Amino acid sequence: MKRRIFQATLLASALTLGGLHSAHAQQTIKLTAAGGHPPVFLWVKLLDEFYIPEVDKRLAAAGGKHKVEWTKAWGGTLIKIGSESKGISDGVADFGFVGTLFEAAKFPMQNVSYVAPFGTDNLGAVGTIVADMQKKIPAMGDTWTKSGLVYLGGTALDTYHLWTNFPVKSIDDLKGKKISAPGPSANWIKNTGAVAVAGSLPTYYEDIKSGVSNGAITFSTGAWGAKLHEVAPYVTKVNFGSMYAGAIVMNKRRFDALPPEVQQVFREVGLEYDKRFAEAQRSTADALLQKMAAAGATVSELPAAERQRWADTIPNVAQTWAADLQGKGVPGAEILKAYMEGLKKSGAQLPRDWSVK
């Protein structure tokens, strides 16, 4: 009888210990993070050095019930620039950064800032405005879901300026000059007398050096990396505006399969990433302009009257963009109006309202 009681006690203890072990077993979630750009670019650098470690930290602080085992593939080693959204939606990677700037055909609504120049240099405001629009305008927010992705946070680039090998004090100085201004930014010099030249940051230096162009429109952090001040030492702060550039996303199937508490951590860290990116990008841009000046570049600011004149000179491409989207059943006019209203509410002093025909 005593032996049976002893055996029953052992069995109960074993079951109890087993139950405790199961209750406290750590779930390991394997995720592959990828990006077309290397970590030298801030949007990837912050994913690598802040977002991922912060997710790990918060999961551990929550009791360690869940742990992510990360595989990192930056710099196009797994997914190339311009194909990130497809790679992540197809499951080649689970998580990463999608540059809407490089996938304009798939994310036309997210590129509204590029058709509405002369906005604001407050990149934090631009990121917030677009994020709010995605919540309030279903068609805009649904773009991510339809692409098989979950939006976790967005970024905007520091404001665009002008780098040239000649001084610019008014838009009249642009007449007859060739300016590297690819894609949507080519519209920013229409009717000024300048000629837009196709290219990208990796080609600007040699294009200006060889005479293919006389300068380029770009943002400070990009210009420094390309060493543009060496061949285009005249930096004119035009403030074409900060531009929305892309977002952190996760494969929707993988995200939906995560425990709710893990999903919440990913979303919360995404909001913090937005804030940190805006602060770091802004301070970095200011510091790099100072470095360019120290290296011999002439940094000047375009007079307000000339900036106004420039904004009035170029055609309202935003209206054409909005009409094109309307023809495809997309609320282009609503998006453009919402963006302009967002800029005004942020305190931006706009030389032109592109939503007005």
Tens of pLDDT, residues 222-238 = 899 889 999 999 999 99
Mean pLDDT for all residues in the chain = 91
pLDDT for 101 equals 84
CB 148 within 8 A of CB 221: no
Q: Out of 23-32, 187-196, 324-333, which region has the weakest mean confidence (pLDDT)? A: 23-32
| The model's pTM | 0.86
CATH T-level topology, domain 26-156+243-285:
D-Maltodextrin-Binding Protein; domain 2 (3.40.190)
Tens of pLDDT, residues 260-309 = 999 999 999 999 999 999 999 889 999 999 999 999 999 999 999 999 99
CB atoms within 10 A of CB 92: 17
- Tokens 């050095």 belong to 49
Domain ranges of the chain: 26-156+243-285
User: Residues 147-165: what's their mean pLDDT?
Assistant: 96
Residue 24 reports pLDDT greater than 70 = no
Give per-residue burial for 160-178: e unless 16+ CB within 10 Å, then b.
bbbbbbeebeebebbeebb
- Which of 1 and 76 is assigned the larger pLDDT? 76
Residue 20 reports pLDDT greater than 90 = no
Query: Rounded to an integer, what distance in angstroms lies between the CA atom of residue 15 and that of residue 2?
Result: 20
In what helix (H) or strand (E) does residue 208 lie, and over which residues does it extend?
helix 201-210
Residue 19 reports pLDDT greater than 80 = no
- Taking the CA atoms of residue 77, residue 80, residue 81 and residue 84 in that order, the dihedral angle to the nearest 10 degrees is -100
